[in-house]
Structure 1
Amino acid sequence: MSDFGIGVGGLLAMFALMVLRMPVGMAMLAVGYFGTVVISGSRSANALFVTETFSSTANYNLTVIPLFVLMGNIASVAGFSSRLYEAAFAWVGRLRGGLASASIVGCAAFAAVSGSSVATAVTIGKVALPEMKRFGYSNALATGAVAAGGTLGFLIPPSTGFVLYAILTEESIGQLFMAGILPGILLTALFIGTVTLVTLRDPDAGPRGAAVSLGQRMTALFRAFPLLTVIIVSIGGIYLGVFTPVEAAGVGAGLVIMIALAMRKLGLSDLLGSVMETVRTTAMLYLIVIGASVLNPFLALTHVPETLGSMMTSTGLGAYGVLLMIVIAYLVLGMFMDGLAMLVVTTPIFFPIITGFGFDPIWYGVIAVIVIEMGMITPPVGLNVFVVKSVAEDVPMSTIFRGVLPFWIAMAVCLLLIVIFPQIALFVPQAMFN
């Protein structure tokens, strides 16, 4: 069998292992290691395993992951996330569909702390879904807004998706974080616009909430101020060049812990629980990084990326035609694969093709993250849909998928706008780093 055939067989074996519920990182690690054994022998495979495992986990930039995860976990157990939702509810809850819009705003704000789509959907969902049920919101709109809003955790910095993309492509984490700001704001606005359109079509889907006085709104905003301060300091520090992303993560985590302790919102058991949850999440992400570091050299040996690249460029579709093919491939993979798994598996294959056409790698990183976000709410897997289902157990899966469809269309519109107007993603990083 040719090396290319071995590579394709290895990828098929990896997908089969994922279907059999093997952890993503272990599936990549097994295929990368044993594939290298077949091509180059056990000595080369053992050397690759040792060197890549050490070098990937010793990467200083990866420190940003546990620090931002810890920051999000502390903010959640201290109740800061519910304050974000309460503040958004106070300001927009009286509008038609206002609670759904407040859920999206709350997701966007919490995404700037957690960096995780799943954590964002679970945290805001636990607070927002009971409130929307109490006010008579349709199950489709309520669950759809939370599931879609949760995906903002993968786009708005700090994003674990951007961190892994930066590690895999050797791009700047800081530039990717900055590139996610305007697209994140744009997508949040499109989600809120979607809520408005849904409630205009069916007013009963999102009735108005109770009117809130200006004083109560200011009070709610003041209660959310501690976490907003952390967001401004950490993300603003990166933008102003005061902190590197790793330093910003450390400052943010330290501030959240100090504020929670000062407000007596964090007990010892809460702190230990947050630390253990951070360790579990970090271990899972590090295993994915290790698996990717062993898989990528195997793919290079089989010439799979360059062969696929040659096949795609020879179609004569042009740069944007190939980009469309990549987007469609992501959408298809999103029906069956976890977002992080998609990013790690496909980036070594698609990235050389994209850069070969002269596309900006930072811009493509934003495109890839948004398409992966779309996969998070695409049937039949739709990870965020399953997460929301775990919170809203009485709502059928079909209802949740029907609810996310308008938001999926909004994400497609956002993607199209960024393709047509690349400066939406590139303006902030270019202004900051050039």
Structure 2
Amino acid sequence: MTLTLIGFAILLLLAFLGVPLAFATLAVGFFGLMYLRGLDAALAASSSWIVDTSINYNFSIIPLFVFMGALIHRSGISGDLYAASYAWLGRFRGGLALAGVMSCAGFAAVCGSSLATAATMTRVAVPSMRRFRYHDGFSAGTIAAGGTLGIMIPPSVPLAIYGIVAGEDIGQLFIAGILPGMLLVVLFLLAVLIVTAIRPDIGPKGRAMGLMETLRASYSTWPVIILFAIVLIGIYVGLFTPTEAAGVGCAGAFIMGVLRGHFRDRASLYGVIEETVTTSAMIFAIVFSALVLAQFVNLTGMPYELRALVLEMGLGPTGLVLTICAICVVLGMVFESIGILLLIIPVFLPSLDLLGVNLIWFGILVIIVIELGLITPPIGMNVFTVKSVAPEIPLKAIFLGVLPYIAAMVLGGVLILFIPQIATLLPDAMR
């Protein structure tokens, strides 16, 4: 275990020095393997993992959902989602922030990326909130927090990767994310209402719209609702596998974009393909490097030493899960979601199996904790994403703006921890 801890310490040091996660992880894993087995064995093991992962059918779900998200991102649907949410909610105090949360949830339902959701909705929602004199930190913090819904509400790339690594059914994980995702949306909406009730000046009312104007604004969102329903209902009833659902989602997103007047020239298609290739390459670089590191960790015997330690300490399922969640919060301040999953799950999986922890429920809980890390200082990747799109808003103001949503997310995690049926009800109904 000592050797593994040294490796993780070096990994954290490299991360703080600004070395990209994929390179830092690969370096620690490769040199660790070389130390244990020699150069030839390290080269052979690393190359075999890369090849085996590249030809693994299950991993094809990643570029497909990334492609679907890129199509949605560039189809202009984000503006329609915000307009529809604003039409229904803008008349209330904090209504534009409520609309921001709802539009983030809608965009997340067909995107699957927290960073893409935060970046896209910042461009759409923050200028509108500034026109109505919303507090900059509150408006930016709302979108940064709303963006975290991108990795909970299915389809979700991190949930898919968790399913592959933990050996759990991806379809059941997607279905399991629906109720927790809805719970977080409700808690975020309550956070907006509470904050604006305490400080009405930071979120004044918007313009009230008539019924017909509201219905017209909502009409343009029906393709998103249909696409989301087709993908999830198809998985739920067993019409197609998650990978097939990703393909169907790509086709639906492309058709939706064409009908809206997009993707009719090479330049727009090249933009989608470039975004897909770049994002997928980044994800797979992290996956490859983390698998090499996981092999090094397994060779040191750390997962099984931890299992023995859990037995020796008499640590129950709740204690182990809380320990893992605390580690994820700390790592979430430095690493991004996929890297955390690939670092944590292989190490603790034997201990979780030993204590009979429901891995579907655990996966949802870990995703919530990772979401928390996306808006937690000092890194908070969603916060920095919003800052990059709206550079005029001070970073400190955005971090202050996310505090109510951090409290809401902690409450959501506690509810799922002690009421696991929130995550397991729908997957159990599938069986």
Give the TM-score of the pair, scaled to structure 2.
0.97
State the AA in 1 paired with 2:226.
T
Residues 223-280 of structure 1, C-alpha deviations (whole Å, 9 max, x = no match): 1112222111112211221121111111111111122223322342111101101000
Residue of structure 1 equivalent to 2:164: 167
- Greater displacement, 162-171 / 313-322: 313-322
Secondary structure (helix, strand or coil) at the match of 2:208 reads: coil
Residues 358-410 of structure 1, C-alpha deviations (whole Å, 9 max, x = no match): 11011100011000000001000000010111122111111111110110010
Map 1:240-319 to 2 at 5 A: 240-268=237-265, 269-319=267-317
State the AA in 2 paired with 1:366.
I
1:15 aligns with 2:12: yes
Residues 305-336 of structure 1, C-alpha deviations (whole Å, 9 max, x = no match): 22234334433443222222222222222222
Residue of structure 1 equivalent to 2:424: 426
- Greater displacement, 315-324 / 183-192: 315-324
Secondary structure (helix, strand or coil) at the match of 2:92 reads: coil
- Greater displacement, 50-59 / 194-203: 50-59
Residue of structure 1 equivalent to 2:229: 232
Task: Pick one of 408, 411, 415 that aligns with 2:409.
Answer: 411
Secondary structure (helix, strand or coil) at the match of 1:314 reads: helix
Deviation at 1:354, TM superposition (A): 2.1
State the AA in 2 paired with 1:210.
R
Contact 2:69 2:110 in 1 (8 A): yes
1:95 aligns with 2:119: no
Deviation at 1:20, TM superposition (A): 2.6
Residue of structure 1 equivalent to 2:355: 357
Inter-partner Cα distance in structure 2 for 1:259 and 1:326: 41
Residue of structure 2 equivalent to 1:334: 332
Deviation at 1:137, TM superposition (A): 0.9
Secondary structure (helix, strand or coil) at the match of 1:424 reads: helix
Contact 2:177 2:423 in 1 (8 A): yes
**Unaligned 5+ runs, structure 1:** none
Contact 2:262 2:268 in 1 (8 A): no
Deviation at 1:423, TM superposition (A): 0.7
Deviation at 1:161, TM superposition (A): 1.0
Residue of structure 2 equivalent to 1:393: 391
Secondary structure (helix, strand or coil) at the match of 1:30 reads: helix
Residue of structure 2 equivalent to 1:371: 369
Contact 1:56 1:293 in 2 (8 A): no
Inter-partner Cα distance in structure 2 for 1:330 and 1:258: 39
Inter-partner Cα distance in structure 2 for 1:313 and 1:419: 22
State the AA in 1 paired with 2:189.
I
**Unaligned 5+ runs, structure 2:** none
Residue of structure 2 equivalent to 1:215: 212
Residues 92-136 of structure 1, C-alpha deviations (whole Å, 9 max, x = no match): 111111111111111111111111000000111110000000011
Give the TM-score of the pair, scaled to structure 1.
0.96
Inter-partner Cα distance in structure 1 for 2:412 and 2:220: 32
1:155 aligns with 2:152: yes
Inter-partner Cα distance in structure 2 for 1:288 and 1:22: 13
1:195 aligns with 2:173: no
Residue of structure 1 equivalent to 2:58: 61
- Greater displacement, 157-166 / 180-189: 157-166
Secondary structure (helix, strand or coil) at the match of 2:425 reads: helix
Inter-partner Cα distance in structure 2 for 1:329 and 1:261: 44
Residues 169-200 of structure 1, C-alpha deviations (whole Å, 9 max, x = no match): 11111111111000000000000000000011
Inter-partner Cα distance in structure 1 for 2:73 and 2:320: 41
Deviation at 1:417, TM superposition (A): 0.5
Deviation at 1:208, TM superposition (A): 0.8
* Aligned CA-pair RMSD: 1.4
- Greater displacement, 232-241 / 156-165: 232-241
Residue of structure 1 equivalent to 2:346: 348
Contact 1:36 1:45 in 2 (8 A): yes
Contact 1:117 1:151 in 2 (8 A): yes
Contact 1:68 1:253 in 2 (8 A): yes
State the AA in 1 paired with 2:386.
V
Secondary structure (helix, strand or coil) at the match of 1:288 reads: helix
Contact 2:21 2:335 in 1 (8 A): no
Residue of structure 1 equivalent to 2:127: 130
Inter-partner Cα distance in structure 1 for 2:424 and 2:315: 25
Which runs of structure 1 show a deviation greater than 6 angstroms over 4 or more consecutive aligned residues? none
What count of residue pairs does the alignment treat as equivalent? 430
